[in-house]
Amino acid sequence: MITAEVRIRKYDWKIRIYLAVTCYYTDEIMDSLSRIGCPPDIMNRAYNNMTQCALDTGLTYSNSHRSVMVVARSSSPAQFLNSFEHELRHLTDHIAAAEGLKIGGEDVAYLTGNLNSLLWEYIHPFVCCKCKDY
């Protein structure tokens, strides 16, 4: 599993990211969700989903300019990218809603690109089909 803490300065937004997660890390992720004020019903749903240990899943929760983004282990590089981009879209929507950005507008498009660039070093090992050292 790879974890990272990143900050989007423009929006003063902090993100805790978990990539290639197995159910072994459920308690750590639950602690992160709790620290950002995730409500009990969403915590229960997240816990139930994570303890299934399923591939190709994820979750993203945001509150007060803080987010937790989780991408489980994947069945292929293409599926990792699919799950990652799915969760990234949720993250982008959360930031856009909090900041009053127009969905479909240039600000959201730039935010998406900036997030991909910011997170590239973490996702690269999972999507590079020609890399030998994952």
Tokens of 102: 């127009």
Longest dimension (CA), the chain: 42
The number of angstroms, rounded, from the C-alpha of 81 to the middle of its chain's C-alpha atoms is 12
- Position 7, amino acid: R
pLDDT digit string, tens, across residues 99-128: 999 988 899 999 999 999 999 989 988 887
**Strand 13-21 vs strand 2-8: parallel, antiparallel, or unpaired?**
antiparallel
The number of angstroms, rounded, from the C-alpha of 107 to the middle of its chain's C-alpha atoms is 20
| pLDDT at residue number 35 | 96
The number of angstroms, rounded, from the C-alpha of 88 to the middle of its chain's C-alpha atoms is 6
Cβ partners under 8 Å of residue 78, min gap 6: none
- 8 - beta bridge partners? 13
**Spatial CA neighbour of 18 closest among 78, 56, 55, 58:** 58
16 three-state secondary structure: strand
pLDDT tens across the length of the chain (134 residues): 999 999 999 999 999 999 999 988 999 999 999 999 999 999 999 999 999 999 999 999 999 999 999 999 999 988 999 999 999 999 999 999 999 999 888 999 999 999 999 999 899 888 876 665 54
